[in-house]
Amino acid sequence: MKILMCGDVVGRSGREAIQKYVPVLREKWDLDLVVVNGENAARGFGISASNCKEFYEAGVDVITTGNHIWDQKEIISYIETDPYLLRPLNYPDKTPGQGLVVLALPNGKKVAVINLMGRLFMDPLDDPFAALEKVLSTHKLGLNVAAILVDFHAETTSEKMAAAQMADGRITALVGTHTHVPTADTLIFSGGTAYQSDLGMTGDYDSVIGMKKEGPIQRFTRKFSVEKWSPAEGEATLCGLYIESDDQTGKALVVKPVRLGGILSQTEL
């Protein structure tokens, strides 16, 4: 199975990168599944129904999110109607939406996509480790699902790496999102689980984590910002991870960072 997972889409430039590159990559790499974290797609804060439509039309199959999922209030009602827009699974019971989706692909294979959020320096949600274990008790890699993919939206690399090591051999891949900087620790663990601490953002890197520079600089130097933060508008870099998995075992065979467009060093298209 051939999979692309992309990091946090920030603002218009990030959305344009998804629209530009995902259709090309789906065809060129014969992708079976595309997962994108879209929680900063709507002017840098949250995601809208129209953003979701744009992503699906570009060839995205599942949209994951994180701590900004509720920033656009329309999403509270919309998320109940869209099974492919996920919020973190470890939100409390009765929170709108869901944190897990199982897709049946055209080839008949089933893929589970899980969205989790960390608790270190983040909102005090339910235990993400327990939430993951509960899913893995019924979704068995290579038995009733051909692949299990986890987007762990968290601040600390230790929390993300611990979750991946705990689930090694039982999931296809765990990737981190949220910090908006791609990490260089791409690997496949001994049990066959692909990992990267953070995919990085899909946005303009001539910025401060995707935002125009002035507001964040003022915040750090003066403890307040004169202007409301808004996304940087230069050309975005699409950042993500390409994964190939064994259709029988569900374990990762190939993992490769993806960086296309913008000012970061590029990977091959």
Instruction: Check whether 269 has a pLDDT greater than 80.
Output: no
Residues with catalytic annotation? 68
Q: Write down the pTM of the prediction.
A: 0.96
What is the per-residue pLDDT across 129-162, written as a single tens digit (0 to 9) for each?
999 999 999 999 999 999 999 999 999 999 999 9
* C-alpha span between 45 and 67 (Å, rounded): 10
- For residues 46, 66, 104, 247, the Cα torsion angle rounded to the nearest 10 degrees is 130
Structural domains in the chain?
Answer: 2-260 (3.60.21.10)
Q: Which two tokens stand for residue 267?
A: 């990977």
What is the per-residue pLDDT across 11-26, written as a single tens digit (0 to 9) for each?
999 999 999 999 999 9
* Cβ atoms of 170 and 142 closer than 8 Å: no
